[in-house]
């Protein structure tokens, strides 16, 4: 694909519109990818892999042009082995489709990014994607066991194994989360999890944000690890409720959406204990989903929240900082002060249990002065995360957007180790150039997030 109007479709991801590739290729097999890699090598062109383009850090956009490899034609589930709890898939398989394929047998694929209806396993592997249920079950890297990878020179290697403890270096663990800068994944073997016997979903409603944030560490301090522990503030809630009618209260300051899973007895006990902790922390009300439909509706509200916010603001910017969960009350206060300082509207909807923040800053890209303030606010928030001993990204990846923020948390020596690994697999730097590692051009700056483009 090379016509201007076709290429336009691939100039953006969920971060923003950045740049068009020179050509888009749709491989059908590993062999195609090998051949395309060789073409890219021969012509010294950038080679960028892309799944569904739902990424939030610009990782799948060919920011320096070149060949974009789109995996929409490699979407076969190659093998499902329930007794071993494994599946072997091509990179274009949609995350949710894998779970659906094994649902009847009582299994699922645990990592569940909010974009799971569209995003692909290949993209998840590249970004080491998370989701609401990573609190108990871990992120993508904890569920990927083996990979087939095409290196930039066209060599194909197989890392890991479908069983545990293959001797040698854990290259699978290095490739997961490497954002397409080390190799192109053409096949992944992943772990399938057993569906729990019982699930209970609670909605704790608060009149003060600080009470909701205090509850988070209080729950884990009781020795309970919920399967999910999400927070939404009143502003986001109202937008979500208007869009989805999930039954969220319109007049509160914040809610916690808490899910416990496991053996029936454990779930009942944990739900009771969590309810007590919520009430000790001034929850106005604690509701329990009475049916699977009610539960689905609550989650639909949460997972479609970004879309709902798109209805009320022309643009928004989502930040992905992480802090220790005990610092949440302090951090939410800080975000409130940033909102005032820059005269912006900031919504908060995030994975509270992990301390993984997603402040959503509303803006209108046509207002350039406001857009500049958004950029400053986002930077202030990420700086505060770093000061608290946190990270610049919990699940969205470094990508194009944050590569110049890496020096905030990594020293030159730390980055040099990463460069060593990159140079080993991608010595010419033509594989997804300009991503993950600092470009050295604009140290400490966010890139691309506010360049325009629409909300998803």
Partner 1 sequence: MTLAVDSVRADLAALVGPSHVLAYPAACVALAVDGKIPDCAVAPATAEEVAAVLRYASEHHLALIPRGHGTKLSMGNLARRYDVALSLRELNRVSHYEPADLTISVEAGMTFGEFQNLVGRNGLWLPLDPRGGAESSIGGIIAANAAGPLRQGFGGPRDMVLGLKIATTDGKVAKTGGRVVKNVAGYDLGKLLTGSFGTLGVIVEASLKLFPKPPERATFTMRAGTLGIARDLRRSILRSPVDPMRLVLVDSLATALLGDSAQAHERLGAELWIEVGGSHRVIERCERELRQLASAVGAPLARLEGAEEAWEHVSNLALWLQHKYRDVTLLKAALPVVASEEFLSHAQQEAEAERIALASFAQVGVGIVHLCALQETMSASLAGWVTRLRQAATDLGGTLVIEHCPVDLKSHVDVWGAGGDDLAAMRKMKYAWDRKEVLVPWRFVGGI
Q: Which of residues 394-433 bind partner 1 (CB under 8 A)?
A: 394-398, 402, 406, 409-411, 413-418, 420-425
Of 373-392, binders to partner 1 (CB under 8 A) are 389-392
Only one of the segments 8-16, 34-42, 130-138, 290-298 lies at the binding site for partner 1 (rule: CB under 8 A); that segment is: 130-138
CA distance 219 to 265: 18
In whole angstroms, the minimum distance from the beta carbon of 47 to partner 1 comes to 18
CA distance 455 to 316: 7
In whole angstroms, the minimum distance from the beta carbon of 376 to partner 1 comes to 21
Whether 126 and 71 have beta carbons less than 8 Å apart is answered as: no
Only one of the segments 27-35, 175-183, 282-290, 368-376 lies at the binding site for partner 1 (rule: CB under 8 A); that segment is: 175-183
In whole angstroms, the minimum distance from the beta carbon of 314 to partner 1 comes to 29
Rank residues 165 and 293 by Cβ distance to partner 1 and give the closer one: 165
Rank residues 370 and 393 by Cβ distance to partner 1 and give the closer one: 393
Size of residue set near partner 1 by CB under 8 A: 90
CA distance 128 to 178: 8
Of 285-324, binders to partner 1 (CB under 8 A) are 322-324
Rank residues 120 and 356 by Cβ distance to partner 1 and give the closer one: 356
Strand order in the sheet with 67-70: 23-25, 67-70, 47-50
CA distance 60 to 68: 8
Quick one: 83 exposed, middle or buried, by C-beta within 10 A (0-12, 13-18, 19+)? exposed
Of 262-281, binders to partner 1 (CB under 8 A) are 262-266, 269
Rank residues 170 and 296 by Cβ distance to partner 1 and give the closer one: 170
Rank residues 344 and 437 by Cβ distance to partner 1 and give the closer one: 437
CA distance 409 to 415: 10
Rank residues 252 and 349 by Cβ distance to partner 1 and give the closer one: 349
Cα angle 44, 50, 56; round to 5:
115
Of 46-105, binders to partner 1 (CB under 8 A) are 81, 83-86
């Amino acid at each position: 694909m090379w016509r201007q109007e076709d290429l336009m479709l691939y100039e953006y991801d969920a971060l923003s519109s950045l740049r068009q590739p020179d050509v888009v290729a749709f491989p059908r097999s590993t062999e195609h990818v090998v051949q395309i890699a060789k073409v890219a090598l021969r012509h010294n062109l950038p080679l960028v892999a892309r799944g569904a383009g739902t990424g939030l850090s610009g990782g799948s956009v060919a920011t320096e042009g070149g060949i974009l490899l789109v995996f929409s034609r490699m979407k076969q589930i190659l093998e499902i082995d329930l007794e071993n709890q494994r599946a072997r898939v091509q990179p274009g398989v949609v995350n949710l489709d894998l779970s659906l394929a094994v649902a009847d047998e009582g299994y699922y694929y645990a990592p569940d990014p909010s974009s799971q209806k569209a995003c692909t396993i290949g993209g998840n592997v590249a970004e080491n994607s998370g989701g609401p249920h990573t609190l108990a079950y871990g992120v993508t890297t904890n569920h990927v066991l083996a990979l087939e990878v095409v290196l930039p020179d066209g060599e194909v290697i197989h890392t890991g194994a479908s069983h545990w403890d293959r001797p040698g270096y854990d290259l699978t663990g290095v490739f997961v989360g490497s954002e397409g800068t080390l190799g192109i994944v053409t096949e992944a073997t992943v772990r399938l999890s057993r569906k729990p016997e019982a699930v209970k979903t609670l909605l704790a409603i608060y009149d003060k944000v600080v009470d909701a944030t205090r509850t988070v560490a209080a729950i884990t301090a009781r020795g309970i690890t919920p399967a999910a522990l999400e927070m939404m503030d009143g502003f986001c809630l109202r937008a979500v409720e208007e869009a989805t009618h999930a039954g969220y209260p319109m007049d509160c300051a914040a809610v916690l959406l808490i899910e416990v899973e496991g053996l029936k007895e454990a779930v009942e006990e944990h739900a009771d204990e969590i309810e007590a902790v919520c009430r000790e922390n001034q929850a106005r009300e604690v509701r329990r989903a009475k049916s699977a439909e009610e539960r689905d509706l609550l989650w639909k509200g949460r997972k479609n929240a970004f879309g709902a916010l798109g209805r009320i603001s022309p643009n928004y910017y989502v930040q992905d900082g992480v802090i220790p969960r005990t610092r949440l009350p302090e951090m939410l206060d800080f975000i409130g002060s940033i909102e005032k300082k820059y005269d912006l509207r900031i919504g908060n909807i995030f994975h509270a249990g992990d301390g993984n923040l997603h402040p959503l800053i509303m803006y209108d890209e046509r207002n350039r002065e406001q857009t500049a303030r958004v950029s400053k606010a986002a930077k202030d928030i990420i700086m505060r995360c770093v000061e608290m001993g946190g990270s610049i990204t919990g699940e969205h990846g470094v990508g194009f957007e944050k590569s110049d923020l890496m020096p905030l948390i990594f020293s030159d020596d730390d980055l040099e180790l990463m460069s060593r690994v990159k140079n080993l697999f991608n010595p010419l730097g033509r594989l997804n150039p300009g991503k993950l590692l600092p470009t050295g051009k604009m140290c400490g700056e966010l890139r691309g997030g506010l360049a325009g483009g629409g909300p998803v």
